[in-house]
A and B are shown apart, each in its own frame.
Chain A
Amino acid sequence: MEVTFQFDWAAAFGSIPHLLPGIPWTLIISFGGLAIGFFIGIFFGLLRISPLRWMRWPAILYIEVFRGTPILVQVLFIFYGLPQLLGGPINALTAGIAAIAVNSGAYISEVVRGGVQSIERGQREASLSLGLSRTQAFRYVIWPQALRRMIPPLGNQAIISIKDTSLFSVIGVGELVRQGQIYIATTFTALEVYFMVAMMYLAITWSLSIVLRLIENKGLVGQ
């Protein structure tokens, strides 16, 4: 018996209008989650390098827990588990954003820690020797430099988080993969549709890479 595979381009392109509504969801969940994750990351990243042990400890706990458990389990926990604790349902969008926020926050904490610790000790010493307080030294000298060094790993994390949102089809949020699944259920063109879904992720992540490269080139002037 002869089996022939046929990639149906018409079906592939025909799926685009049905997939497009997923893109805003994917973007809102990833960038909403990342924006919150960024602040979580700054908070725990700085706690993590505190000279005081009792401040470091909660940061280490947070990072280990959310970096050490799968994001799929985290989102299921938030969406299906937390409502039992809270006594009311959480909508899927909120759950998705929260999952990206706490998950990326754990990784970003480490990015922040690495960025700050990578600044040569002499920068702090020069600042202090000029009479700047420790807070001023951090704000005007250490942090601006650390932030620049954090751009590549932050971009990396953004790309990972964008792709992670594909898992959230399991909680029914209408992102790209979910839109694809709904469409395939009526057309049975899995090959073409998942191909187009993949292309759409690629378009998002590739655009982000280009933007990041521009920021990085600009930011590195004078380094």
Chain B
Amino acid sequence: MTERNSTETPIVRMEKVNKHFGSLHVLKDIDLDVKKGEVVVVIGASGSGKSTLIRCINGLEEFQQGHIQVDGKDLEPFGKSGKALQKIRTEVGMVFQQFNLFPHLSVLDNVILAPMKVRGWSRGDAVETADRLLERVGISDQAVKHPSQLSGGQQQRVALARALAMEPRLMLFDEPTSALDPEMIGEVLDAMRELAKEGMTMIIVTHEMGFAREVADRVVYIHLGEIAEVGPPERIFDQPDDDRTRSFLARVLKH
């Protein structure tokens, strides 16, 4: 791709993306562009396909039709992207609902593994970056511990530092606070808020509506595998156009 108009070129472009699980049509004609520096929050009921959507962006899920372009590299249907996929993953960080820290490695080793093995950094450089990131997420004093010795909130912040250590151009968040005890949700959201403020491009699947309203540039509402509505948070939350959005929000915002 030429760099012409690079400020306008979206970092993620999904065009008519369709995914089936057997007879289940999980994603239906998904069209979504995400610009550099944008924070997009994806909301929707469980099983609506919102996690599947972001997992397609880094190839953890295959899709059958359509086209996805990430940072100028193309993802092909049926997982036939080969080297391009690994390149995309190198530039796209992900934080998971279940943290997925490596339990056999210390916190520090969790963070430096990929920079050393994928980027080829020296141990010294990787440790320096890791120290800085761990401090930023408030875990610098726990670097020698193993993940199981940390609270859920701390583990998720380590997972965030681990992803950031690769210096990604885009961050994906797959329900990052859903597995946390309520008192730990805040600390993880704070770290994400700060990241958004620094201009990181983020696509976030979450049930935290208050957070969505606060940090999102755009909110995407997914219903049964379809994008029902996209717009700025004020409009989506206060004056949704779509009946499905309205009824979903009425259910989740009631309490």
Check A130–B104 contact: CB distance below 8 A.
no
Main secondary structure, interface of A, reads: helix
Our pick among A125, A131, A222, A223 for the contact of B60 (Cβ within 8 Å) is A125
With the chains together, A113 CA to B90 CA distance in Å?
29
CB distance from B247 to the nearest CB of A (A): 32
Cβ-closest chain B residue relative to A134: B86
User: Is A122 interfacial (CB 8 A cutoff)?
Assistant: yes
Residue contact B60 to A130, C-beta cutoff 8 Å: no
> Are B103 and A130 neighbours in the complex by a CB distance under 8 Å?
no
* Beta-carbon contacts under 8 Å, B58-72 to A: 58-60
Write the B72-114 contact mask toward A (1 if CB under 8 angstroms, else 0): 0000000000000010011111101010111110100000011
Cβ of A118 under 8 Å from chain B: no
Docked complex Cα distance between A133 and B172 (Å): 19
Contact B96 A223 (CB under 8 A): no
Given A125-B60, A221-B146, also A131-B100 (CB < 8 A): no
Q: How far is the CA of A166 from the CA of B78 in the complex (A)?
A: 54
- Name the B residues within 8 Å of A128 (CB-CB): 58-60, 89
Number of interface residues of B (CB under 8 A): 32
With A129-B60, A129-B93, A131-B89 as given contacts, are A123 and B118 in contact (CB-CB < 8 Å)?
no
Query: Contacting B162 at CB < 8 Å: which of A130, A140, A223?
Result: A130
Contact (Cβ within 8 A) B102 A126: yes
Residue B126 at the chain A interface, CB threshold 8 Å: no
Q: Are A125 and B100 in contact (CB under 8 A)?
A: yes
- The distance from the CB of A147 to the nearest CB of chain B, in whole angstroms, is 9
Is there a chain A Cβ closer than 8 Å to B39's Cβ?
A: no
The smallest C-beta distance from B46 to any residue of chain A, in angstroms, reads 18
Instruction: Give A131-145 as 1s and 0s: 1 = Cβ < 8 Å from B's Cβ atoms.
Output: 111001000110011
Say whether, besides A129-B58, A129-B92, A131-B89, A148 and B100 are in contact (CB < 8 Å): no
Q: With A and B bound together, what is the CA distance between A126 and B60 in angstroms?
A: 10
Q: Which residues from A are CB-within-8-Å of B151?
A: none
Are A144's CB and B104's CB within 8 A? Answer: yes
Contact of A145 with B96 in the complex, beta carbons under 8 Å: no
Residues of B within 8 A of A120 (CB): 98, 100
CA distance A128 to B117 in the complex (A): 12
Q: Which of B89, B147, B148, B166 has the most CB of A within 10 A?
A: B89
Q: Which residues of the other chain, A, contact B166 by a CB distance below 8 angstroms? A: 130-131
Chain B window 179-204, contacts with chain A (Cβ cutoff 8 Å), 1 for yes, 0 for no: 00000000000000000000000000
Question: A122-B96, A123-B100 in contact; A132/B60 too (CB < 8 A)?
Answer: no
Q: A129-B94, A131-B89, A222-B148 are in contact. Are A136 and B103 (CB under 8 A)?
A: no
Instruction: Determine the residue in chain B with the shortest Cβ distance to A221.
Output: B146
Q: Out of A125, A129, A141, A223, which one reaches B148, CB within 8 Å? A: A223
User: How many chain A residues have a CB neighbour from B under 8 Å?
Assistant: 21
A120 to B98, CA, bound (A): 10
Name which of B90, B92, B100 has the most chain A CB atoms within 10 A of its CB: B100
A131 with B90: CB separation less than 8 A? yes
Cβ distance B202 to chain A, nearest Cβ, rounded Å: 15
User: Are A223 and B103 neighbours in the complex by a CB distance under 8 Å?
Assistant: yes
In Å, the complex CA distance between A126 and B165 comes to: 13
Contact call B113/A122, Cβ cutoff below 8 A: no
Residues from chain B with Cβ under 8 Å of A122 in the complex: 96, 98, 100
Could you tell me the distance in whole angstroms from the C-beta of B86 to the nearest C-beta in chain A?
Answer: 6
Contact of B100 with A130 in the complex, beta carbons under 8 Å: no
Alpha-carbon gap, A131 to B116, bound state (A): 11
Task: Chain A residues near B86: list those with CB within 8 A.
Answer: 131, 133
6 tightest A-B contacts by CB?
A: A222-B146, A131-B90, A126-B100, A130-B114, A122-B100, A129-B94
> Can you report 23 residue pairs joining A to B where beta carbons are below 8 Å apart?
A122-B98, A125-B60, A127-B102, A129-B58, A129-B172, A130-B93, A130-B162, A131-B90, A132-B117, A140-B117, A141-B102, A141-B113, A144-B104, A145-B102, A145-B103, A145-B104, A221-B146, A222-B147, A222-B148, A222-B149, A223-B103, A223-B146, A223-B148
Apart from A129-B89, A131-B86: 15 A-B pairs, beta carbons within 8 A: A126-B96, A126-B101, A126-B102, A126-B159, A128-B59, A128-B89, A129-B93, A129-B96, A129-B163, A130-B114, A130-B166, A131-B91, A131-B166, A145-B103, A222-B146
